[in-house]
A and B are shown apart, each in its own frame.
Chain A
Amino acid sequence: MSDARPDSRSAILARLRAAGSGGPLPDLDTAVLERRRWTPAERVRRLRQGMEAIHAEFLEARPDDWPAVIRAFCEREGLRTLLFGPTTEAGRRLAEAMAGSATTLRPYDAPVETFKAELFQSVDAGFTTTLGGVAETGGLLLAPGPREPRLLSLVPPLHLALLRASTIHDTLWSAIRALGWGQAAPQNALMISGPSKTADIEQTLAYGVHGPKRLVVALVDDLPGSPK
C-alpha cells in the first residue's frame, strides 16, 4: 500500500533534488531557550500560574497522602465512577485508598471496543499519572500506553492528573531533551495545559468543547526540604 504510487514519490523527490538548493545550513542559536531556567519552587509557581489562567484546578498533596486527597475530592464532587490504569504503582496506591469509597474505581484494563459506549456516556472522570510538567507556560507531559491508555485523559468529562513537583521541567524544549523523546518518541506523547476549550464563536472562550470540561491536578510536593 505504501508504494501504491512509486511514480509520484520519485517524481516529487526528483523535482526537489533538481532544485539543487544547496548552501550551508544556518546555525541554530538556542540561547533564548536555554536562558529560561528557574529554581524548583519557582517552576511549581510558574506552572500553576500558567495552568490556572486557563482554568486548570489544583489539589495540594504530599507524597504520603495524595491518594486520600484524591478520594476526598472524588467524594466531595460526587463522582460516581473514576476510570484508571490499575497496573501502575500510583494506580495500585489509589485502588487501596479508594476501597469502600462512594466513588467506584473502574479499571481501564480491556480494549476500548469492549466498552466504548460506556466510556463515552457513563464515566465521570479519568485518572492518569504524568511524566512531568513544563514551567514556562504551564503544562503536563503524558505518554499514554498499555498501562494508561490514550483515551483516559480525553473522553471522561473530568481529567484528574497526578503531578510530582520534582518532575517539572523549565521549558518544553528542555523537557523533550531530558525525557529523550527526540531519540525514541513514545507511540503517543502529549502536553496538556488545561481543560478542552474553544474560542470559535466570536472569540469568546468556552470550556469543555470536546475533551474534558475540567482538568484537576493533584500536585504532590516532593521537593527536598518540604515537610514530609
Chain B
Amino acid sequence: MHGETDMNEGGPSGRFAPSASPLVHPHVVTERSPATTSDLSFRASAAKALGDVQLRANFRRAMDGLMAKRAAQFPDPGDLQELRDLGTAVRARSLLRLPELLEQLEASCSRNGIQVHWAETCDQANALILGLLQAKGATRLVKGKSMVSEEMHLNAFLESHGIESLESDLGEYIIQLDHETPSHIIMPAIHKNKGQIARQFSQKIKDAKYTEDVDELTALARKVLRQKFLEADAGLSGVNFAVAETGTLCLVENEGNGRMSTHVPPLHIAVMGLEKVVARLEDVAPLYALLTRSATGQPVSTYFNLISGPRAEGEKDGPREVHLVILDNGRSRIYGDPQLQATLRCIRCGACMNHCPVYTRVGGHAYEAVYPGPIGKILTPQMEGVGLRHDLIHGSSLCGACSEVCPVEIPIPDILVRLRREATHADAGSKVAGKGTGRTAAEDLAWRAWAAVLKRPGLYRFSVWFATRFRRFIPGGLPLLKAWTMSRTKPLPAPRSLQERLRSEGLPRV
C-alpha cells in the first residue's frame, strides 16, 4: 500500500517508479534546492495517454457529466459572478492578512484544545506525524481524503515505518489497492471504469465475488472499511477551510469517511497547506457554496463538518486529542510574488480540470504530479522548479476555460505565461523556484541567430529573399521547426515579402 509508485498507464521512468528506499522521494524538491534538470516528460506521457482509447473514453464521459452538472447549478450568470467576486474577495483578504491569520488560528486552536504544529517541508511534516502516532503507540491509521497528504507521500512514509495508512474515501481506497496515485483531486479513481474496479475488488478483497453492480461494490468497501474505522488507533484528514477567529477546521464530504476518520479513533491529526485559513466562520459560507457546485455540481455536500476541538468534558465520543499540522512546502515562496500569490487562492474544487480540453484528453496521470490539470500546471512548477516542470508550463493552449470557471478567479493562463518567462530568464528579483533553468541550448541559439539577423540589414534582406524564393525547400525536420511539424503541417512562407509587395504596389519604402 504505497501512495505513490506504479501507475497503470506506465508513465516514463523516474517520477513514480518505486524507489529502493521509500524514504527517498526524488521528485519532492524542498524549496532550498529547486531541481534544475528534468527527467519528467508531460509531452511523452500525454502522447501515450492519447493513444489509450479506454482511458480517453472514461475521462470524456466523466468530464462531460461534470461540466453539465456544474452549469445546472449556476443558472443565473449574474448571481454566479457576484458569488465568484465574493469568494475571490474572501480569499484575497485572507491572503493579504495571512501571517496574522495563521497566528490567530494557532491561538484559537490552542484555546480550543487543538495542538498546532508547523512544517516547512514535507519531510518535516511526515516526521511530525510519525512522532505523534508513535507517541500513542498507533499502528493503524485511517485517512479521510487529503491532497496535502498526497503531496507529502505520507502513506509510503508511514508504511515504511510499520504503520498501516489506509485510505477510506472510496476513490482513494480503490487506487490505493492498485498502488496508484489520484488522477483527479476530487475524484481520484475517475480513470477507472466499473469493470476494472470489479476485477480489482474480486482479486484483492478477501472473499469478494466478482460483481459490476456499483451498489454491491460500494457495500463491499463499506464492510471492509467499517471494521477498519472500528479498529483504528488514529485518523487523519485534510482541511478545506481553517477559521482563524474560532479555531475551526472545516471538512466537506459526501461519504462520511471524513467524519469516521476524525471522530471514531482516539487521535485525530489534520494536515493543511498554510493558505487554507480564512478570518471568520461566515466567510466560509460563500466558499462552500462555490466549492460543491464547482466541483461536482452539487448544491450541497452530504456532510459539512466543523471541528473546533477534541472530546470535551462530559462528551462520550470524539477524539481525545486533535492536532493540526500546517505545511509550507514552497507556499511561502509563492506568496512572496504579488502576481503568483493568486495561485494560493485555490480552494481545490477541480473545476479547472473538468473544463480543460487538455486534461480531458490525457487524464490526470499524464501530468506526473500530485496536482494535475490547469491548477497543477501552475502549482507544480512553482513547488518543484519551473525548469524541472518546463513541459507542464508549455502543455497548454492558453484557451482560458480554466480561469473562466475558476470560482476564485485565478488567472491561470496569465500565470502560465509568466512562468514560461521565468523558466528561461533568471531575473535577479524573482523568487520563482528554478528560474532560468528551463533555457535550452537550441532555444538560446535560435534567439541569438534571430537577433544577429535582425541587427544586420543585409543579412536580413538575404534571409527574407532566401526564405521566400526557396520556401518549398525548407526541410520540416530542422531542429526547431521539427517541434512544430511533428503534429502540424509545415508552415509555408509567402512567395514575396510584405516589403516587396508594398514596393510593387508603388508604396514608399518603410
Residue numbers of A with Cβ under 8 A of B are 1-2, 4-5, 8-9, 11-13, 15-19, 21-23, 25-33, 50, 54, 108-112, 116-117, 120, 134, 136-139, 144-146, 149-151, 154-155, 171-173, 176-177, 181-204, 206, 208-212
Interface residue? B39 (CB, 8 A): no
Chain A residues, Cβ within 8 Å of B169: 200
Chain A residues, Cβ within 8 Å of B247: 185
CB distance from A37 to the nearest CB of B (A): 14
* Distance in angstroms between the alpha carbons of A33 and B82 in the assembled complex: 9
CB distance from B225 to the nearest CB of A (A): 6
Residue numbers of B with Cβ under 8 A of A are 61-62, 65-66, 79, 82-83, 85-86, 88-90, 92-93, 95-99, 102-103, 110, 112, 115-120, 124, 128, 131-132, 168-171, 174, 187-190, 192-194, 197, 214-215, 217-219, 221-222, 225-226, 229-230, 243, 245-248, 254-257, 259-260, 263-264, 274, 280-286, 288-289, 296, 299-318, 326, 328, 332-333, 335-336, 338, 341
Partner of A2, one of B82, B93, B110, B333: B110
CB distance from A43 to the nearest CB of B (A): 15
Q: With A185-B306, A202-B193 in contact, is A15–B336 under 8 Å at CB?
A: yes
Q: With A12-B328, A189-B308, A203-B65 in contact, is A50–B187 under 8 Å at CB?
A: no
Q: With A13-B99, A185-B308 in contact, is A209–B217 under 8 Å at CB?
A: no
Chain B residues, Cβ within 8 Å of A149: 315-318
In the complex, are the beta carbons of A209 and B257 less than 8 A apart? yes
In the complex, are the beta carbons of B336 and A8 less than 8 A apart? no
Q: With A116-B230, A189-B308 in contact, is A211–B303 under 8 Å at CB?
A: yes
In the complex, are the beta carbons of A2 and B115 less than 8 A apart? yes
* Distance in angstroms between the alpha carbons of A18 and B112 in the assembled complex: 30
Q: With A15-B333, A182-B280, A185-B243 in contact, is A210–B124 under 8 Å at CB?
A: no
Partner of A151, one of B124, B174, B263, B285: B263
| Interface SS majority for chain B | helix
* Distance in angstroms between the alpha carbons of A198 and B311 in the assembled complex: 28
* Distance in angstroms between the alpha carbons of A200 and B201 in the assembled complex: 14
* 26 pairs of residues in contact across A and B, judged by CB atoms under 8 Å: A1-B132, A21-B96, A30-B86, A32-B86, A33-B285, A33-B286, A112-B317, A149-B317, A154-B259, A172-B289, A176-B281, A176-B282, A182-B245, A182-B246, A184-B246, A185-B243, A185-B248, A186-B308, A188-B263, A188-B308, A190-B259, A196-B303, A200-B189, A202-B193, A203-B62, A212-B256
In the complex, are the beta carbons of B315 and A210 less than 8 A apart? no
Partner of A201, one of B92, B117, B189: B189
In the complex, are the beta carbons of B316 and A146 less than 8 A apart? yes
CB distance from B134 to the nearest CB of A (A): 13
| Interface SS majority for chain A | loop
In the complex, are the beta carbons of B300 and A145 less than 8 A apart? no
Given A186-B306, A192-B303, A209-B257, 4 additional A-B pairs, CB 8 A: A8-B328, A19-B335, A139-B300, A190-B259
CB distance from B330 to the nearest CB of A (A): 10
Partner of B282, one of A26, A29, A182, A191: A182
In the complex, are the beta carbons of A172 and B285 less than 8 A apart? yes
* Cβ-closest chain B residue relative to A175: B285
Chain A residues, Cβ within 8 Å of B193: 202
* Distance in angstroms between the alpha carbons of A208 and B296 in the assembled complex: 18
**A8, A110, A171: residue with the most chain B Cβ atoms closer than 10 Å:** A8
* Distance in angstroms between the alpha carbons of A174 and B171 in the assembled complex: 33
Chain B residues, Cβ within 8 Å of A116: 230
CB distance from B287 to the nearest CB of A (A): 11
In the complex, are the beta carbons of B222 and A204 less than 8 A apart? no
Shortest 8 CB-CB distances between A and B: which pairs? Answer: A211-B256, A200-B171, A173-B285, A146-B314, A137-B300, A32-B82, A15-B332, A112-B317
